[in-house]
């Protein structure tokens, strides 16, 4: 393109936008409400976009959905196609209630700005309804639920409390996951968010993360945890199975005496610290690049062996199994008094 053409094009856009001036803000103020008769075992399929979601159980055999949306849209220039209003689609097909957000998607050549002041879903439902939730940046809060929960989000935080369904599946990119008092089978997949589990009784727990921290407190069950750069911290855990793999993060585990343990812990560059409740019965095998990086603070070690690959032995009869591997980090195993 010649210099003259660039000059003419620049002058055109300058005169166009200067002449049009900013368009007054277009206000969107919407309220939606819909109710559906349901029964135990039915499903709610919610696509909530960027909205915040709160789901509360009640005794009625009704799913009651309220949605509030308030936003301003400013446009100066040439408005492009797309949806320029907010809507929610409701329908019920068979045993499933569908609630789908239709969010504004317009743009402009020039200036386009959307400012959302309020965007919330308030849902009351029987606690025995299966939840299938998917959104973008909104937060999700669910309490006192007795059915399966599937929740997928991009950057939103997910808060679950007192969940007793047989299966809970949580997926998010950068949001945090906080769970209190969950039982059953739990799967969590995320990228950079942190995970906090408290007082959970888990048949199985699988966590697949990248850079966030995983912290589990006062819980029991079988745990399979994989992270890249995040730390894994477990406090007062009663574990049957414990499999933890971290690339550069540290692993700290505080284990209570309980069922026979089957555990594998490994990290590349991080340190591993294990605290065992007094009387814990375990056979251990620890591998490290330098055996001097392995510290054992336990009394009554039986069948102890040490070579250039690591250290092994057992305490209190050695009914459980513990295998530990680190490449460049330190390993410490302590017996608590």
pLDDT at position 87 over 70: yes
For the chain, give me the number of helices (H) and strands (E)? 1, 27
Q: From CA 101, how far away is CA 47, in angstroms rounded?
A: 6
Query: Average pLDDT for residues 300-306, to the nearest whole number?
Result: 92
What pTM, to 2 d.p., does this model score?
Answer: 0.85
Give me the pLDDT at residue 37, please: 98
Q: What is the pLDDT of residues 229-243, one digit of tens each?
A: 889 999 999 999 999
Does 5 have pLDDT greater than 60? no
- Element containing residue 145 per DSSP (H, E): strand 140-145
Per the prediction, the chain carries an average pLDDT of: 88
- Are the CB atoms for 221 and 202 separated by under 8 Å? yes
Comparing C-alpha atoms, which of 85, 84, 82, 74 is closest to residue 23?
74
Q: Is the pLDDT assigned to residue 160 strictly greater than 60?
A: yes
77 falls in which pLDDT band (50, 70, 90)?
low
Q: Give the N- to C-terminal CA distance of the chain in Å, as an integer.
A: 79
Domain range annotation of the chain: 20-137, 176-337
Identify which of 243, 145, 232, 154 has the alpha carbon closest to the alpha carbon of residue 197. 232
| Higher pLDDT among residues 245 and 80, named by residue | 245
Give percent of the chain above pLDDT 90.
Answer: 69
Average pLDDT on 287-294 reads 88
pLDDT (average), residues 10-14: 45
Average pLDDT of the segment spanning 95-106: 87
Of the candidate ranges 51-60, 81-90, 150-159, 249-258, the one whose mean pLDDT is the lowest: 81-90
C-alpha distances in angstroms, 213 versus 48, 97, 103, 227, 329? 27, 36, 33, 8, 18
* CA 205 – CA 215 distance, rounded (Å): 13
Contact of 90 with 103, CB cutoff 8 Å: no
Q: Give the C-alpha separation, 100 to 90, whole Å.
A: 7
The residue with tokens 């585990």 is: 253
- Average pLDDT in the 66-95 region? 78
Predicted pLDDT of residue 210: 85
**103 close to 50: Cβ distance less than 8 angstroms:** yes
Q: How far is CA 221 from CA 181, 210, 215, in A?
A: 13, 23, 15
Q: How many residues does the chain have?
A: 337
Q: Which of 257, 337, 323 is nearest to 286 (CA)?
A: 323
Residue 277: helix, strand or coil by DSSP?
Answer: coil
Comparing 16 with 223, which gets the higher pLDDT? 223
Residue 196 has pLDDT above 60, yes or no: yes
Beta bridge partners of 23: none
Identify whether the C-beta of residue 289 lies closer than 8 Å to the C-beta of residue 309: no
Residue 16 has pLDDT above 80, yes or no: no
Q: What is the pLDDT of residue 64?
A: 98
Q: Which residue has the higher pLDDT, 4 or 240?
A: 240
Would the pLDDT of 18 be above 50? Answer: no
Burial grade of 72 (CB within 10 A; 0-12, 13-18, 19 or more): middle
**Among the listed ranges 39-48, 53-62, 70-79, 275-284, which one has the minimum average pLDDT value?**
70-79
């Amino acid at each position: 393109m010649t210099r003259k053409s660039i000059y003419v094009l620049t002058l055109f856009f300058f005169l166009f936008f200067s002449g049009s001036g900013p368009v007054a803000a277009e206000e969107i103020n919407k309220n939606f409400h819909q109710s559906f008769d349901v029964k135990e075992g039915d499903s709610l399929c919610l696509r909530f976009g960027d909205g915040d979601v709160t789901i509360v159980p009640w005794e009625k055999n009704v799913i009651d959905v309220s949605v509030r949306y308030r936003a301003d849209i400013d446009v100066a220039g040439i408005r492009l196609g797309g949806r320029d209003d907010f809507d929610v689609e409701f329908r019920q097909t068979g045993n499933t209630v569908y609630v789908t957000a239709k969010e504004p998607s317009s743009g402009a050549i020039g200036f386009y700005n959307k400012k959302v002041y309020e965007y919330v879903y308030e849902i009351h439902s029987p606690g025995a309804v299966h939840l299938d939730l998917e959104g973008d940046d909104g937060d999700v809060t669910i309490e006192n639920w007795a059915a399966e929960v599937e929740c997928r989000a991009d950057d939103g935080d997910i808060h679950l409390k007192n969940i007793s369904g047989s299966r809970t599946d949580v997926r998010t990119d950068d949001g945090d996951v906080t769970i209190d008092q969950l039982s059953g089978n739990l799967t969590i997949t995320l990228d950079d968010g942190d995970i906090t589990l408290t007082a959970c009784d888990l048949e199985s727990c699988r966590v697949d993360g990248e850079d966030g921290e995983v912290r589990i407190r006062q819980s029991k069950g079988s745990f399979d945890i994989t992270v890249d750069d995040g730390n894994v911290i477990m406090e007062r855990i009663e574990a049957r199975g414990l499999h933890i793999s971290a690339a550069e993060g540290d692993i700290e585990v505080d284990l209570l005496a309980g069922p026979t343990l089957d555990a594998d812990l490994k990290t590349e560059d991080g340190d591993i610290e294990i605290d065992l409740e007094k009387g814990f019965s375990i056979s251990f095998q620890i591998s490290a690049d330098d055996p001097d990086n392995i510290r054992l603070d336990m009394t009554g070690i039986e069948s102890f062996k040490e070579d250039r690959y690591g250290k092994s032995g057992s305490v209190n009869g050695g009914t459980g199994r513990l295998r530990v591997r680190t490449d460049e980090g330190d390993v410490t195993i302590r017996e608590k008094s």
